[in-house]
Chain A
């Protein structure tokens, strides 16, 4: 009964989305304010019914209703309840329902928090989001119904959730990631609304900026969680594989980063208007492409399309409609919104331009590397794979090129600046950064050119930022008063740039200084790695709620002093018999110690053991958290909530210059 209720709610949600996509848009076209005024109510109604539908599916999972097909194939009565809940989005149908739920959440959020938006703009924005909702809900209803039943033939117990997904990180990783993906639909909807209306001014950029920043922050956190999960859960200590699934989430992030910088120039200086619109379309199209690449099975094989032609065809048509439709609209209307503002070459605008070019080129190279194997396979030219060396070879130089501009950005002035001023502002940070690069790596490890370069560049970013902050604060009566004067926008930029510096340092240090050792160890053996002595004490059998495991007890000592007790496991899950490695990690700000079990070797209880020493690996995730926090902080800037009074706004912009 409950699944049917969920299905019914989904159909009502689809109808509401259909009305939302058409009636307010018609109202905006005919200037019919009654039709336009329907939009917020319809958005909320959409949220209510999709939420009911999602709740029904969750209940089916929590109550072990194995007559529902997705429950039978992705859950099990032995599964702990929290994983029964996360199993809701651990499958194709459920994760699309989550997508639809999050889309209706964002749509309602726009409806609720946009009191200062003119009705005309609000109606257009909500209509566009409704249209995206129509696409997803019809995809669910027509090809991927989550409420399909197995009647008759209900199995006694379910197939179980893939053990890899039975993990706390995976409970929140997909929702965060989807909050990011789907969040870009708001920026997309604003862009389409601007194209439809033929008007794009500073207030448009001010409306769409907080939404874009929030989506970007969610996406940063989502990607970071995914990387962290891969690190501790996959059992081989890697944190980024340039796997197509990872790239699918990374490309919208790259395009989104370009977008939020370009939006800043659009808001402050009325520049890059049509470019910003194009980036908004691009970022959301990549989100769609990512969702579908992961969800359609096209990555497993291009022939997955052939086995399920309905889904594949739907996806292709939907993508073609969204991308083709919005680009056509762009081609027709972009000239109406283009800007005629000039800027000096030595200015913040040109640095933002550099940022945009670098991020866009990075997006395209990743897109190319991800799609290349699919294209070659579809053409019948052979089954290629593009490995991490390609991505590293292309991506690392691009990012290294970015950092020098990034250090200048916050210091530079809009419109016109002078090289002499830059020199005097940044001379001190430059000297100190070079000194850091020359001396820092000497402190604890061998001199490494790459680490030295990364440390110098990061130090340059951090020092440039700190000096800039100090100059903004020092004029005030007290330090506290000075700090209070700084806007959330500035804090957000500050945190995000600090986070980027931490990320760069962490990634380079851990890639260069990382020590990995796979070896055969029996209970009683010891092995020394980077000054840490790993003692394999004993091997014990362990029983979990739905698995049996062999657990290795490893003690770590340094210079005879106890450091940590680690207990990696090799689990066998009872429902499927699937074997899984559970790594044990001793985390630290400056180094992680990582132990994982391979397989048993020989007769005497010996195991293949993986020992890793990973310096500063956490900096990368801490950096990503800082970036996410930075993105959220900007949302709280007062100027995004102020009702329109252009004079006051431009005065405060002149004062803060952010």
Chain B
């Protein structure tokens, strides 16, 4: 074989092997690190897995936010106006988190159906609604103030 061709073949083989290794790594990393979004209605129906990383989003129910007096623990409820999900979280909430506002919590569901959150996300600015929340509300047939469409 012509030496240039042979070299090219070896390069291609090297690239293919390396890319396959990388693709394997990608699949492995992906399998453990993606999480799926569930609206509160799905969780109430038991569609969400217990103990798996998931995200839940909805509007924060008015008067549901309760802070502990001596730690950063906080509990609140998320709703899509069809069902509610209780969330427990320990830490600092984002600036735009508030009752009657949209929020997304990431964590795992425990046996009691309470989401133990490791991260709480609120919107970036006043006009923005987390897209999953907007969709969940649309599916449940309410707008963000809880009025039926």
Taking a contact as CB atoms under 8 Å apart, the answer to whether B33 and A576 are in contact is no
A386 to B37, CA, bound (A): 11
Whether, in the assembled complex, B148 has its beta carbon less than 8 Å from a beta carbon of chain A, the answer is: no
The yes or no answer to B135 lying at the interface (CB within 8 A) is: yes
Give the complex CA separation of A353 and B29 in angstroms.
Answer: 26
Q: Is B110 an interface residue when CB atoms closer than 8 A count as contact?
A: no
Binary contact readout B28-61 vs A (1 if CB under 8 angstroms, 0 otherwise): 1110111111000000000000000001000000
Report whether B71 and A520 are in contact in the complex, using a CB–CB cutoff of 8 Å: yes
Q: Which of chain B's residues have a CB closer than 8 A to the CB of A610?
A: 92
The yes or no answer to A518 lying at the interface (CB within 8 A) is yes
A658 and B99 alpha carbons, distance in the complex (Å): 62
Can you pick out 10 interface pairs between chain A and chain B where the beta carbons lie within 8 Å of each other? A340-B4, A342-B7, A365-B22, A365-B25, A384-B35, A386-B34, A393-B32, A394-B26, A576-B125, A599-B93
Proximity string of chain B (113-146) to chain A, C-beta cutoff 8 Å, 1 when within and 0 when not: 0000000000011101001101100000000000
Please determine whether B36 and A518 come into contact, CB atoms closer than 8 angstroms.
no
State the CA gap A633–B33 with chains docked (Å): 41
Question: Which of B37, B70, B95 makes the CB contact (< 8 A) with A581?
Answer: B95
- With a CB–CB cut-off of 8 A, which chain B residues contact A343? 7
Q: Which of A300, A518, A580, A598 contacts B128 (CB 8 A)?
A: A300
B125 and A162 contacting across the interface, CB-CB below 8 Å: yes
A235 interface residue (CB < 8 Å to B) = yes
Could you say which of A357, A365, A383, A602 contacts B67, with CB atoms under 8 Å apart? A602
**8 pairs of A and B residues whose beta carbons are closest in the complex:** A598-B92, A301-B131, A393-B29, A383-B37, A390-B33, A389-B33, A361-B22, A390-B29
Question: Which residues of chain A in 241-256 are interfacial with respect to chain B, using CB atoms and an 8 Å cutoff?
Answer: none
Q: Which residue of B lies closest to A401 (CB)?
A: B18
| CB-nearest residue of chain B to A578 | B126
Residues from chain A with a CB closer than 8 A to the CB of B134 are 301
Q: Does A387 lie within 8 Å of B3, measured CB to CB?
A: no
| Contact of A518 with B92 at beta-carbon distance under 8 Å, contacts A361-B22, A389-B32, A390-B29 already known | yes
Contact present for B29 and A394 (CB under 8 Å): yes
Which residues between 392 and 430 of chain A lie within 8 Å of chain B, taking CB atoms?
A: 393-394, 397-398
What are the residues of chain A within 8 A of B33 when measuring CB–CB?
A: 386-387, 389-390, 393
Within 8 Å CB of B36, what residues of A? 382-384
| Bound CA span A608–B95, Å | 12
Q: Given the complex of chains A and B, what is the CA–CA distance between A389 and B106 in angstroms? A: 14
Chain A residue at smallest Cβ distance from B21: A361
Chain A nearest CB, measured from B79 CB (Å): 18
Q: Do A353 and B11 form a contact, CB below 8 Å, given A382-B36, A383-B135, A394-B29?
A: yes
Does B62 count as interface, using CB distance less than 8 angstroms?
no
The proximity string for B residues 62-86 relative to A, scoring 1 for CB distances below 8 Å and 0 otherwise, is 0000010111100000000000000
* Cross-chain pair count, CB within 8 angstroms: 107
Set B26, B92, B132: member contacting A368, Cβ < 8 A: B26
Residues of B within 8 A of A383 (CB): 36-37, 55, 132, 135
Chain B residue at minimum C-beta to C-beta distance from A576: B126
B129 closest partner in A (C-beta)? A300
B96 interface residue per 8 A CB criterion: yes
Contacts of A300 on B, CB cut-off 8 Å? 128, 131
Residues in B neighbouring A341, C-beta threshold 8 A:
4
Q: Are A599 and B92 in contact (CB under 8 A)?
A: yes
Chain B residues with CB under 8 Å of A365's CB are: 22, 25-26
Q: What residues on B are CB-neighbors of A644 within 8 Å? A: none
Interfacial residues, chain B to chain A (CB-CB below 8 A): 3-4, 7, 11, 14-15, 18-19, 22, 25-26, 28-30, 32-37, 55, 67, 69-72, 91-93, 95-96, 106, 124-126, 128, 131-132, 134-135
Question: Is A29's beta carbon under 8 Å from chain B?
Answer: no
Contact, CB under 8 Å: B72 / A518: yes
If A340-B4, A342-B4 touch, whether A393 touches B25 (CB-CB below 8 Å) is yes
Report chain A residues within 8 Å CB of B106: 385
CB nearest to B8 among chain A residues: A342
Rounded to whole Å, the gap between the CB of B47 and the closest CB of chain A is 11
Q: Which of A146-198 contact B (CB under 8 A)?
A: 162, 164
Cα A578 to Cα B101 in complex, Å, equals 13
Contacts of A608 in B (CB 8 A): 72, 92
Which residues from chain B contact A598 at a C-beta distance below 8 Å?
72, 92-93
In the complex, what distance in Å separates the CA atom of A372 from the CA atom of B36?
12
- CB pair B125 A578 closer than 8 Å: yes
Q: Given that A300-B131, A365-B26, A389-B29 are contacting pairs, would A357 and B34 also be in contact in the complex, using a CB cutoff of 8 Å?
A: no
Q: Complex Cα distance A301/B137, Å? A: 14
Residue of B nearest to A301 (CB): B131
Chain A residue at minimum C-beta to C-beta distance from B15: A357
Pick from A301, A364, A386, A599: contact of B135, CB under 8 Å: A301
Contacts of A577 in B (CB 8 A): 126
A35-76: contact bitstring with B at CB < 8 Å (1 yes, 0 no)? 000000000000000000000000000000000000000000
Query: Is A518 touching B91 in the complex (CB atoms < 8 A)?
Result: yes
Q: Is A440 an interface residue (CB 8 A)?
A: no
Shortest Cβ distance from residue B49 to the other chain A in the assembled complex, whole angstroms:
13
Interface contact A390-B30, CB-CB below 8 Å: yes
Measured CB to CB, the nearest residue on chain A to B128 is: A300
* CB-defined contacts of B34 to chain A, threshold 8 Å: 372, 384-387, 390
Is B95 in contact with A235, judged by CB distance below 8 angstroms?
yes
User: Which residues on the A side are within 8 Å of B30 (C-beta)?
Assistant: 369, 372, 386, 390
Q: In whole angstroms, how far apart are the Cα atoms of A386 and B30 in the complex?
A: 7
On whether the beta carbons of A398 and B37 are closer than 8 Å, the reply is no
What residues of B have a CB within 8 angstroms of the CB of A578 in the complex? 95-96, 125-126
- A601 on the interface (CB 8 Å rule)? yes
Most buried by A among B33, B69, B71: B33
With both beta carbons as reference points, the residue of chain B lying nearest to A604 in the complex is identified as B69
Q: Which residues of A contact B37 (CB under 8 A)?
A: 382-385
Q: Pick the contact of A164 from B25, B67, B91, B124 — CB < 8 Å? A: B124
Residue of B nearest to A383 (CB): B37
> Of residues 501 to 519 in A, which have CB atoms within 8 Å of B's CB atoms?
518-519
CA distance A301 to B135 in the complex (A): 9
A368 to B25, CA, bound (A): 12
The CA-CA distance from A372 to B34 in the complex, in Å, is 10
> Of A236, A386, A389, A397, which one neighbours B25 at CB under 8 angstroms?
A397
The distance in angstroms between the C-alpha atoms of A519 and B72, with both chains bound, is 6
Closest chain A residue to B125, Cβ basis:
A162
Q: Are B95 and A162 in contact (CB under 8 A)?
A: no
CB distance from B126 to the nearest CB of A (A): 6
Distance of A396 from chain B, by nearest CB (Å): 10
CB neighbours of B15 from chain A (8 A): 357
C-alpha spacing A117/B48, complex, angstroms: 63
Partner of B18, one of A162, A340, A361, A518: A361
Residues B29 and A580 in contact, CB atoms below 8 Å apart:
no
Within 570-614 of A, Cβ neighbours of B (below 8 Å) are at: 576-581, 598-599, 601-602, 608, 610
Contacts of B11 in A (CB 8 A): 353
For the complex, give the distance between the alpha carbons of A164 and B96 in Å.
12
Chain B CB within 8 A of A656 CB:
no
Known: A383-B36, A390-B30, A581-B95. A520 touches B70 (CB 8 A): yes
